[in-house]
Amino acid sequence: MKIRRIKLTKLSWKLAFLYAAVFAAVLLVLNASVLYGVKFFLIDQAKQKVESVSSTVEKRIIGSNSEQMTFDDPEIIYEARSDNTLNIKVAEPSGRIVNATDNFNMLGVPVMDHLNVVRKLEGGALNLVVKNTAVIDGGKVKAYIQVSQNMEKEYNFLWILFILLAIADIIGILFSLFAGYILSKSMLKPIDKMTKAANEIGLSGLSARIEVPPADDELSRLAITFNEMLDRINATFEKQGRFVADASHELRTPVSIIQGYIGMMDRWGKQDEKVLQESINAIKKETLSMTVMIERLLFLARGDNGRQLLKKAMFSIDNLMEEVSLESSMLASDHNFSFQGSQGLELFADRRMIKQMLRALLDNSIKFTPTGGKIDLLYVGDDKEIVFTVIDTGIGIPMEEKEQIFERFYRVDKARARETGGSGLGLSIVKRIVEVHEGKIKIESTVGTGTSVTVTLPRL
C-alpha cells in the first residue's frame, strides 16, 4: 500500500487568511475611527480659534473710534500678523478690503456672504475654516471681517498619520498572517500525526493506536473515537479470523475420517464386502454432517454480511408443532416428548427459520438428556407475542458457560462433542434467528437437573 501524505498546508493557510482578514477588518475600522476622530478634533479646535479671533477683532473694531484706530490699523489684525496660519480681512460696508494679511492664498473667498457661520472649505488647494462676520454698531454695519484658519498643517499631519497607520496595518496584517499560519499549523499538527498513524495502522495490522493528545478537546475526542473504532474493527476481525480457523478445523475432522475410510476401502474393501459397506456408511454419515455444517456456516456468514433473507408469512403454530413433534419422536424414540400449548395460534414470521430454531433447541435437549428423559415443548401466546419453552431433564449447563454456548463452535464438553455429533453452531443459529425476528432468548439451567430455554417472539 502506498502511503499518501495528506497536505495540511492548505487548511492552515485557509485559517491564516481567515485570521488575517478578520484582523484587517478590525484594524480598518479602528484606524478609520482614529483618523476621523483626530480630524474632527482638529477642525473643532480650528473653529473655536476662528470664533474667538473673530470676536476679538469684532470687539476691537466696535471699541475703536477713528481718533485712536482706523480700520487699516495693522493692530486690528494683530493675531494674523503673528500667526501665519491665520488670515484676517477687514472690509468697509461697501465691501472694499481695507486691511488684510496675506499669509496664504485665499483664492478669493468672498467676505460678505455666509455671515456669522463658521464654515469648512475643502477641496482643491483650499483647506480652510472660515468665518465671515458683519460688525454691527448702532444698528448699522460698520465693517465686515473674515477670519480664516489654514488647515494645511493639520491635513499634512492627518496624511502622515494615515500613512503611518497604513504601514502599521500592513505590518500587522502580514504578522497576523504569519502568526495565524504558525498557530493553525501547530494546532493541526495532531491531525497530521493522526493521519500518519492511521496510515501505519493498515500496514502494521490493527493493533496500533493513535496517540491521544493530552488536552481534552475535539482532537483528543477524535483520536479516542478513532481508537475505539479500531478496537471494534479489531474485535470483529479477530472474531472472523477465529470463525474461519474454527470452521477449517471442524471441517478437517470429517475430511480426515473420510480419507481414512477411503484408504481402508482401497486396501481391503475390494475383497471384503463388510469393510466396504462399513466405509460407505461412515463416508455417507460424515459427508452428511459436513453438508449440514457447511449449510450452517453459510447461514451464519450470510447474516454477518447483513444479507439474511427473511421470508415472513402468517402461519399456524399448531401445524408447525405437529410437524416438529412427529420428526422429533421419529428421531429420538427413546425420549418422552410432550408438546403442549394454546390452540389456534398464528405467527407472522419466517416459518422455515422458526422450525430450524425449534429443531436446534430440541436437538440439544435430545443430545444432552439421557435416554428415557423428559423433553417438553410449551407454546403460549397473546396478541403481542408468542413464547416457546423447551424444557429437558438433561445434564444442564454450568452457570459460567451460559453466555458462551451462543458463541460459534462453543461446546461445554469438547470431548463428548464428536460423540454427540454437534458442531457448536446450533445455538449461534438459534440466536441469529431470534435476533432477526426481534425476539428474546433466555436460558435457565441447573447442572444435573435440566435446562429450560425460553424464546419470546413478537407476533408481528
Ligand X SMILES: Nc1ncnc2c1ncn2[C@@H]1O[C@H](COP(=O)(O)OP(=O)(O)O)[C@@H](O)[C@H]1O
Query: If binding is defined by CB under 5 A, does position 423 make contact with Mg ion?
Result: no
> What is the smallest separation between the CB atom of 413 and ligand X, expressed in angstroms?
6
Of the candidates 387, 385, 363, the residue with the CA atom closest to the CA atom of residue 375: 363
- Segment contacting Mg ion by CB under 5 A, of 38-46, 66-74, 363-371, 386-394: 363-371
354 binds, among Mg ion, ligand X, none (CB under 5 to 8 A by kind): none
Query: If binding is defined by CB under 5 A, does position 279 make contact with Mg ion?
Result: no
* DSSP structure string for 383-416: SSEEEEEEEE-SS---GGGTTGGGSTT--S-HHH
348 binds, among Mg ion, ligand X, none (CB under 5 to 8 A by kind): none
77 binds, among ligand X, Mg ion, none (CB under 5 to 8 A by kind): none
- If the CB atoms of residues 210 and 405 are measured against ligand X, the closer one turns out to be 405
* Sheet containing 118-123: order of strands: 97-100, 86-91, 140-150, 126-137, 118-123
The three grid cell numbers given for residue 228, joined into one nine-digit string: 475505539
> What is the smallest separation between the CB atom of 396 and ligand X, expressed in angstroms?
6
User: Which residues bind to ligand X, rule: CB under 6 A?
Assistant: 360, 364-365, 367-368, 392, 394-397, 405, 410-413, 422-428, 451
- If the CB atoms of residues 223 and 397 are measured against ligand X, the closer one turns out to be 397
> What is the smallest separation between the CB atom of 331 and ligand X, expressed in angstroms?
14
- If the CB atoms of residues 261 and 409 are measured against ligand X, the closer one turns out to be 409
Query: If binding is defined by CB under 5 A, does position 426 make contact with Mg ion?
Result: yes
Total of residues contacting Mg ion (CB under 5 A): 3
> What is the smallest separation between the CB atom of 312 and Mg ion, expressed in angstroms?
25
> What is the smallest separation between the CB atom of 280 and ligand X, expressed in angstroms?
25
Q: Which residues of 164-178 are buried (b: 16+ CB within 10 A; e: fewer)?
A: ebeeebeebbeebbe
d(CA 228, CA 47): 74
> What is the smallest separation between the CB atom of 289 and ligand X, expressed in angstroms?
10
- Segment contacting Mg ion by CB under 5 A, of 49-57, 217-225, 289-297, 422-430: 422-430
> What is the smallest separation between the CB atom of 389 and ligand X, expressed in angstroms?
12
- If the CB atoms of residues 315 and 368 are measured against Mg ion, the closer one turns out to be 368
Helix (H, G, I), strand (E, B) or coil at 427: helix
- If the CB atoms of residues 269 and 426 are measured against Mg ion, the closer one turns out to be 426
350 binds, among Mg ion, ligand X, none (CB under 5 to 8 A by kind): none
* Sheet containing 385-392: order of strands: 336-341, 374-381, 385-392, 450-458, 440-446
Other residues' Cβ atoms within 10 Å of the Cβ of residue 384: 9
d(CA 282, CA 301): 28
Residue 342 exposure: Cα atoms within 13 Å on the Cβ side: 13
Query: If binding is defined by CB under 5 A, does position 364 make contact with Mg ion?
Result: yes
- 8 A C-beta contact, residue 394 and residue 370: yes
133 binds, among Mg ion, ligand X, none (CB under 5 to 8 A by kind): none
d(CA 105, CA 127): 11
- 8 A C-beta contact, residue 93 and residue 142: yes
439 binds, among Mg ion, ligand X, none (CB under 5 to 8 A by kind): none
- If the CB atoms of residues 60 and 432 are measured against ligand X, the closer one turns out to be 432
392 binds, among ligand X, Mg ion, none (CB under 5 to 8 A by kind): ligand X
Helix (H, G, I), strand (E, B) or coil at 344: coil
424 binds, among ligand X, Mg ion, none (CB under 5 to 8 A by kind): ligand X
> What is the smallest separation between the CB atom of 452 and ligand X, expressed in angstroms?
9
> What is the smallest separation between the CB atom of 363 and Mg ion, expressed in angstroms?
5
Instruction: Describe the chain by its helix, strand, coil percentages, rounded to 5.
Output: 55, 20, 25
Tell me which DSSP letter residue 116 carries: T
- 8 A C-beta contact, residue 185 and residue 13: no
- 8 A C-beta contact, residue 364 and residue 430: no
> What is the smallest separation between the CB atom of 390 and ligand X, expressed in angstroms?
7
> What is the smallest separation between the CB atom of 453 and ligand X, expressed in angstroms?
7
* 218-264 helix and 273-304 helix, angle to the nearest 10 degrees: 170
- If the CB atoms of residues 203 and 415 are measured against ligand X, the closer one turns out to be 415
- Segment contacting Mg ion by CB under 5 A, of 4-12, 389-397, 416-424, 446-454: 416-424
- If the CB atoms of residues 89 and 296 are measured against ligand X, the closer one turns out to be 296
Residue identified by cell 495490522 is: 205
- 120's enclosing H/E stretch is strand 118-123
- 8 A C-beta contact, residue 323 and residue 295: no
The partner residues of 378 in beta bridges, in order of sequence, read 340, 389
395 binds, among ligand X, Mg ion, none (CB under 5 to 8 A by kind): ligand X
- If the CB atoms of residues 394 and 426 are measured against Mg ion, the closer one turns out to be 426
The three grid cell numbers given for residue 357, joined into one nine-digit string: 430454531
Cβ burial of 365 (10 Å; 0-12, 13-18, 19+) is buried
- Segment contacting Mg ion by CB under 5 A, of 93-101, 148-156, 320-328, 424-432: 424-432
- Residues contributing to the site for Mg ion (CB under 5 A): 364, 422, 426
